[in-house]
Each structure stands twice: as C-alpha cells, then as structure tokens.
A and B are shown apart, each in its own frame.
Chain A
Amino acid sequence: MSYLHNIGAYFIMIAEMFPKPTKWSVMRTLILKDIDDLIIGSLGIVAFISFFVGGVVTIQTALNIDNPLIPKYLIGFATRQSIILEFAPTFISIIMAGKVGSFITSSIGTMRVTEQIDALEVMGINALNYLVFPKFIALMLYPFVISIAMFLGILGGMAAVIFGGFGTLEDFITGIQMDFIPFHIIYAFIKTFVFAFLLATIPSFYGFYMKGGALEVGKASTKSFVWTSVVIILLNYILTQLLLSK
C-alpha cells in the first residue's frame, strides 16, 4: 500500500509544482544556480568516467575479437553503438542518480528538517515550485551532458586503440562511421529527456516529503538513489522496446 501511496503522492507533487509560480526575477536566479550545481558541476565526473569507460569498452571489444576474419573496424563500430545506445544515456544517468540525485534529496531534505520549507510555506510561497521547478528546468540541459559523454566515450575508445595498439586510427574511424543510423541518436536523446525528468523529480520527492532528522536525510538520499535507478532501468527497457523493436 505504501508503494501505491508514494506513486500517487509523486504524481500529485508533479501537478503541484506548476501553480502559483515564483516571480520570474527570483526563478531566473534559481534556475541559473541549479544549472551551475546540477549540470556544470557534473561535467568533470561525467567527462572522467566517459573517457575511461569508453577506453575500457574498446579494450574489452578488441580483446574478444580474436578471429582474424573479423575486421578490426568492428572495434570502432561496437564502441560507438555501446556508447551512444546505452553507456552515455543510461549508465551516466545511473551515476547522476547518485551524484545529482543525492545532492537534490539531501539539500531539500535538510531544508525540510531545518524548517526552511515551512518558512517558505508560511510566506505563501509554493515551495514545490520554488524548489523543484528550477531543478526540472535546469535538467532540461542534461542532453548537453550526455552529448559530451558520447563524444568523450568515443574519444576514450580512440585513445585506447591508438595507445594500446589494438588497431589503427583509420580502422577505428571507419568503424564509428559504418552503418550509422541517425534514429539511434534521437532514441538516445528521447531516453535522456525522460531520465532528466526522473533525475529532477524522484530525488525531490524523497527530499520534500521526508520526516525526521539528519539520519533520515541520509536514508532518504539512499532511497532516492535506489528508486531513481530502478525507474531509470525499467523505463530504459520500456523505451527501448517501444522505440527500437520492429
């Protein structure tokens, strides 16, 4: 029953995020701050992970191709497909559920514990609009992060091929250009927008409606990471089935 209650409360929270909007001059500042915290602040870790995981994907692929009849350019092809279809949109979103999600839950949860949300409500401010809406708007720039992850993942693969001696640069470039289907990029970005919405709202839900003290803030952050990841994985499956299967 508590799952059903939470699902219902989550959708009510989303509906209540829009009425009684905060003054634009204040909202603009909040959005810019959240872009800085959630998007710009995540670029470093996303770049680091993308580059090295791209390299690892390439090395693993190269080491598993031991049949001399299989062309070397397949390493580039497999790297591109893995990174664009799954690694960048899904794997990075799981990482972001840990980084951005726990930040959102703990910051909103701390505001709940220290009565800052009550202070907003007493003043007649729609606290959901004030706190959650700017995060939702800021995370609409999340595809920008994923584009960088895609680029650096492939770049990492390229570096691994060259410096690891697994093939030639020409083969790798041939591979990443081979049988390119533009819809795969659209598919990746549709997933990215859906995941961005989840990354903004599920952690906010766990922070906003938490009860208790500092210990519960930690528990809420863990719960938010677990549920954001679970929902991302489930929707990844559903969207892949809907968008890619014929």
Chain B
Amino acid sequence: MIEVKDIHKSFGDAHILKGITTTFEKGKTSLVIGQSGSGKTVFLKCLLGLFSPEKGEILYDDKPYSNLTDDEKRNLRAEIGMVFQGSALFDSMTILENVMFPLRMFTKQSKSEMEERADFVLKRVNLENAHHKMPSEASGGMQKRVAIARAIVNKPKYLFCDEPNSGLDPKTSIVIDNLIQEITDEYNITTVINSHDMNSVMEIGEKIVFLKDGLKAWEGSNKTIFKTDNEVVTDFVYSSELFKKVRQMYLEEKG
C-alpha cells in the first residue's frame, strides 16, 4: 500500500503539487487522471522517488520514504516496476536482454534461470517469438508489452505506469489495460497508472484520483464516476459526445 500525505512540489516559482493526500491499495489498479499540466507526471515522479516533495510524506507499506537510508531506498526501488510512456526499452539490447536486465542487476541467478524467468513473463504478456528482436523492430504494442514484462520480471510490490496506452490503437489499448489489471490481481501488487485514456478509466479504474492544477479535485472509482456531479470531473471525463451518451444511458438504466 502507498499512502500520500499532503505532498507539495515546486520548480522555481511554479507550485506544481499543492497538497495531495490519497492512498493506493494493494491488489488494486489505481488511476491518476487529469488534464495536461495538472501535475500527474510530477506526482508520479514523486511516488517513484525521482523528485523529493518539499512538504508532506509518502509511505510505502507504512514506511516513510524520506526516513529510509540510501540502502533501503535502493532496496525499495528494486521492488518497483515502471512502465514508461515511451516504453523506455534499452535500444542496444534485444527484447530478451531487456526483460532479463533487472534480474542481471539485482539477483544472483544463473543465466539459464534468468532466461527461464524472462521467457515465462514474456509468455505471460503474450510475446512468445520476439525474444531476439531489437526494440526498434517491435511495434508500439509489443514494446509496451515488453516494458510490462520488464517491470514485473523481478516480482515487484509496486507497479507504476505512465500513460501506458499513449500511441496505441483502441484494441491494443484494451489488451494492455486488461494485462495490467490481470497482473495486479495475480501478483497482488499496488498498481498506479497515469492516464488520459477514458476507456482505461472505465475499464480498470478500481480507484481514480482526479488532479486539477496540482490539487486532488475528486477521488472515486469507475463505478462512482458515472454518478458524480463534480463539474470539474464531468467536464473532463465526459468531454466527448460518446461518453456523454454512455453516462446518460447508465444513469437512465440505474433510474
């Protein structure tokens, strides 16, 4: 579980995060949504420990990040899996080497053990015949799946995804969303996803945190987002005619 308590972050005069408090539970897929410039990426980077908040606290399983020693922080990071917006695969390595990378860095497994584990997770993300391809030879969807495989290969306790569906077609986006949710359930990990994608919000948002101008404007789930009267949320989520109709139908159905 990750607890965020009143975090603030500024860059020069720009106050980006203005006191966000929320909780991300274990075994649940949590989405952080909001317009561009709302502070989602800075928030995620604070969770990852890439930025230090000026005020407030982030607790990983009740342990405050700021109280951890350098070694403890390093150990914690070995328990974090991250899927970047652009996949961030190492382009000098094959797909298999990319997936084996965390194992090479953090375990003492033999090469055959690492290959076996990497092979297992590649099969888990439905990539069976791409082991020796270079990332540049893989499609966007394949790259995302490799990034997910790399993120989960070392059995992380926390999984973070930054816009996992950006640049993907709707069908592949659903495949990636479902994969992330299945993995979250299967390994009972704490998953936090930054997203713009309303399909993801409706499909896998077991918890949704809506950010606006560096503040938490709303918190709920994909069940409660249909019912909310919060104008800031409805303006953003139901900005398209399609989603307006979907909401209308849902509300009519529920009476």
**Which chain A residues have a beta carbon within 8 Å of chain B's beta carbons?**
20, 22-23, 25-26, 33, 110, 114-116, 118-119, 121-125
Query: From residue A25, how far is it (CB to closest CB) to chain B in Å?
Result: 7
Known: A26-B104, A123-B78, A124-B78. 14 other contacts (CB 8 A): A22-B105, A23-B105, A26-B105, A110-B91, A114-B86, A114-B91, A119-B82, A119-B88, A122-B50, A122-B82, A124-B74, A124-B76, A124-B77, A125-B105
Distance between Cα atoms of A22 and B106 in the complex (Å): 10
Distance between Cα atoms of A45 and B37 in the complex (Å): 48
Interfacial chain A residues near B102, Cβ < 8 Å = 123
A20 and B74 contact, Cβ closer than 8 Å, known pairs A115-B88, A118-B50, A118-B88: yes
Interfacial chain B residues near A23, Cβ < 8 Å = 104-105
Interfacial chain A residues near B82, Cβ < 8 Å = 119, 122-123
Q: Which of A22, A115, A119, A121 has the most CB of B within 10 A?
A: A119
Q: At the interface, is chain B mostly helix, strand, loop or mixed?
A: mixed
Distance between Cα atoms of A22 and B102 in the complex (Å): 12
Pick 19 A–B contacts, CB within 8 A, sort by A.
A22-B105, A23-B104, A23-B105, A25-B104, A33-B92, A114-B88, A115-B85, A115-B86, A115-B88, A116-B90, A116-B91, A119-B84, A119-B90, A122-B49, A122-B77, A122-B82, A122-B160, A123-B77, A124-B74
Contact present for A124 and B84 (CB under 8 Å): no
Distance between Cα atoms of A15 and B94 in the complex (Å): 32
- Which listed residue (B75, B84, B104, B105) contacts A118, Cβ 8 A? B84
Distance between Cα atoms of A110 and B91 in the complex (Å): 10
Distance between Cα atoms of A52 and B89 in the complex (Å): 42
* Interface residue count on the B side (C-beta < 8 Å): 25
Distance between Cα atoms of A118 and B160 in the complex (Å): 13
- Which listed residue (A25, A116, A118, A124) contacts B73, Cβ 8 A? A124
Contact present for B50 and A121 (CB under 8 Å): yes
B32 at the interface (CB under 8 A from A): no
Q: Which of B86, B105, B106 has the most CB of A within 10 A?
A: B105
B48 at the interface (CB under 8 A from A): yes
Distance between Cα atoms of A26 and B105 in the complex (Å): 7
Distance between Cα atoms of A110 and B86 in the complex (Å): 12
B58 at the interface (CB under 8 A from A): no
Query: From residue A1, how far is it (CB to closest CB) to chain B in Å?
Result: 15
The 9 closest A-B pairs by CB, nearest first: A124-B77, A115-B88, A119-B88, A124-B74, A115-B84, A122-B82, A116-B88, A122-B48, A124-B78
Distance between Cα atoms of A114 and B136 in the complex (Å): 12
Query: From residue A74, how far is it (CB to closest CB) to chain B in Å?
Result: 50
Cβ-closest chain B residue relative to A126: B74
Cβ-closest chain A residue relative to B78: A124
Query: From residue A22, how far is it (CB to closest CB) to chain B in Å?
Result: 7
Cβ-closest chain A residue relative to B160: A122
Distance between Cα atoms of A121 and B51 in the complex (Å): 11
Query: From residue B146, how far is it (CB to closest CB) to chain A in Å?
Result: 12
Query: From residue B69, how far is it (CB to closest CB) to chain A in Å?
Result: 13
Distance between Cα atoms of A118 and B49 in the complex (Å): 11
Q: Which of A23, A116, A123 has the most CB of B within 10 A?
A: A123
Interfacial chain A residues near B88, Cβ < 8 Å = 114-116, 118-119
Query: From residue A72, how far is it (CB to closest CB) to chain B in Å?
Result: 53
Q: Which of A33, A116, A121 has the most CB of B within 10 A?
A: A116
Distance between Cα atoms of A33 and B102 in the complex (Å): 19
